[in-house]
Amino acid sequence: MVLGTMHSNSHGPDFASFAAADEARRGWGRVLDFWMARRETPYRLVLERPGLRLRCYGRPGDQPSWLIIPAPIKKHYIWDLLPPVSVVQRCLESGFNVYLLEWTEAPRDDPNIGIATYADRHILDCANAIGRPIVLAGHSLGGTFAAIFSSLHPEKVGALVLLEAPLSFAEDTGAIARLIRQFPSVEALSGFDDCPGVLLGALGVAASPESFLWWRWRDGVASLVDPEALYTHLLVERWLLDELAMPGGLFADVVDLYRQDHFMRGTLRVGDKPAAARNVTAPVLAVIDPESDVVPPSSVMPFLDVLPGRDKKLLRYEGDTGIALRHVGVLVGRNAHRTLWPEVLAWVNSRSAH
């Protein structure tokens, strides 16, 4: 299977009303910014082109460099929401150079935007701009792309950090995989320019109302007695209003990846290159949430199992209050920053020392 070659056509579904809903959600988010201010770390841009911006934090030195890959339909700032719960800050405090790939709206006149763009060309451009082997870190679908890139360009990746990143899509690998198996054919999905954020959010709720709806309400109630937790909860809810549309070609590629489990089976081709989980050679640290229905352990463990004898480590995230969406707790949870991130950073530092 070759990914990254889907084309849109004029006969696809009209999502204009969904796009208007996306803009309305973003507008409401901007209104909320008057009352709830996130506090991001100062940065400078070192690369900008259609579809991405590369942020650099601090002044890079001789230390190892992290390249952070957010999920492609989400805004970057969930990695840097507030100083006490900022992954960017934790990495800087540990002496690392930090770069973050910020996804921007993809050009709508390019019919070839797919996984070949997101998991290969864009990340490669960022890695080349950094100019040395990187610690590549990704969350959710951003972690999937990071793993695919690591299999394509092992010489670029010194260590791979995967945070609740789905990698195996065989039977019983989570709510999203179950929903995607009910989608129409990839050919039918290639007939539209993009999949609006509000529709992607609705699909998430349909896949797992427990994770994307009821758990959020319960977390909000539990946060009422803790002002700090409540503020973080509200900031994550505001972040959820900023979903980006996914290019139609990328959406079709991701659906096909889930349905056919190409990466784990070794049948994935990105552009003209083979990509397989077994080709990842970098040391790997994976974080799972044992209670997740979105990215359950069964979606991660098979990936680690194909790396026998390799340098790999598995950590478990045990949950927090004040995170709104449990799937992002590993990034913004106080418990995660108190107990999990010191382990992650120590592991990376020990590999960098070699």
Nearest-Å Rg of the Cα atoms of the chain is 19
Helix or strand run (H / E) with residue 138: strand 134-139
Higher pLDDT, 181 or 288: 288
Residue 295 in tokens:
């990215």
Cβ(278)–Cβ(305) under 8 Å?
no
pLDDT in tens, 140-164: 999 999 999 999 999 999 999 999 9
In the predicted model, what is the mean pLDDT of residues 206-216?
Answer: 87
CA–CA gap between residue 156 and residue 161 (Å, rounded): 14
Lowest mean pLDDT, pick from 24-38, 94-108, 211-225, 236-250: 24-38
Query: Mean pLDDT across the chain, nearest whole number?
Result: 88
Give the residue ranges of DSSP H helices in 33-173: 87-93, 115-116, 122-130, 141-152
Tell me what pLDDT residue 178 has. 78
Confidence of residue 209 (pLDDT cuts 50, 70, 90): confident
Confidence of residue 305 (pLDDT cuts 50, 70, 90): very high
Residue 84 has pLDDT above 60, yes or no: yes
Residue 205 in tokens:
């709720």
Tell me what pLDDT residue 99 has. 98
In the predicted model, what is the mean pLDDT of residues 25-34?
Answer: 80
CA–CA gap between residue 44 and residue 312 (Å, rounded): 33
In the predicted model, what is the mean pLDDT of residues 293-311?
Answer: 91
Confidence of residue 108 (pLDDT cuts 50, 70, 90): low
**pTM, to two decimals:** 0.91
CA–CA gap between residue 350 and residue 354 (Å, rounded): 7
pLDDT in tens, 179-205: 777 766 555 555 567 888 888 888 888
Tell me what pLDDT residue 43 has. 97
Cβ(322)–Cβ(226) under 8 Å?
yes
CA–CA gap between residue 278 and residue 275 (Å, rounded): 9
Q: How many CB atoms lie within 10 A of CB 247?
A: 29
pLDDT in tens, 214-250: 999 999 999 999 999 999 999 999 999 888 888 888 9
Q: What is the DSSP letter of 12?
A: S
Residue 11 has pLDDT above 80, yes or no: no
Chain centre distance of CA 11: 31
* Count of helix runs (H) and strand runs (E) in the chain: 17, 13
Q: For every residue of 170-218, which 3-state class applies, written as one string?
A: CCCCCHHHHHHCCCCCHHHHCCCCEECHHHHHHHHHHHCHHHHHHHHHH
Q: Domains (ranges, CATH) in the chain?
A: 2-352 (3.40.50.1820)
Helix or strand run (H / E) with residue 23: helix 16-32
Confidence of residue 25 (pLDDT cuts 50, 70, 90): confident
Tell me what pLDDT residue 109 has. 63
